Amino acid sequence: MRTGLIKHSQYMDFLRSVPSFQSLPEDILSKLADVLEETHYSDCDYIIRQGATGDTFFIISEGQVKVSQQDSPGDEQVIVKTLTKGDWFGEQALKGEDVRTASVTAVGDVTCLVIDRELFKQLIGGLDDVNNKQYDSDEVKANVQAEADFFSR
């Protein structure tokens, strides 16, 4: 086993607490805890860049990230969502096209647990929650409108 025993059981406890992973059997959780890579980011670091190709899936174990999008290069970046501990991202590039659909940046110190494409496919890819995740464009539009309203006050 690559990770130490204590780390392994901490990862297991954390993974068990993620709602989307609740249906995963113990042996899969254990395998995940074995293979994930813990990565650290500082405030404003880019974790993902929109338009880049990507091969990794992220679960936030500490801190917060901002998801932002721009319609076309040179346009303003619009924050569409803030994600926090227990949330995951990066699944879109792992199904179908491998292009990242948004940028993700760290807000303060962030720790992510990272899983590569092959292991994602083997261990997590079967979960409906993850597989069928779609982002409601109405929600994005509502956020854009709310932000515009905020700045025009």
Point out which residues bind ligand CMP (CB under 6 A). Answer: 48, 54, 67, 80-81, 89-93, 100-102, 104, 135, 140
In angstroms, give the least distance from the CB of 80 to ligand CMP.
4
Q: Is 21 helix (H, G, I), strand (E, B) or coil?
A: helix
In angstroms, give the least distance from the CB of 66 to ligand CMP.
10
Question: Do the beta carbons of residue 138 and residue 144 sit within 8 Å?
Answer: no
Q: Which is nearer to ligand CMP, 6 or 137 (CB)?
A: 137
Burial of 15 (0-12, 13-18, 19+ CB in 10 A): buried
Rounded to whole angstroms, the Cα distance separating 136 from 126 reads 21
Q: Which is nearer to ligand CMP, 8 or 117 (CB)?
A: 117
Q: Which is nearer to ligand CMP, 91 or 106 (CB)?
A: 91
In angstroms, give the least distance from the CB of 18 to ligand CMP.
14
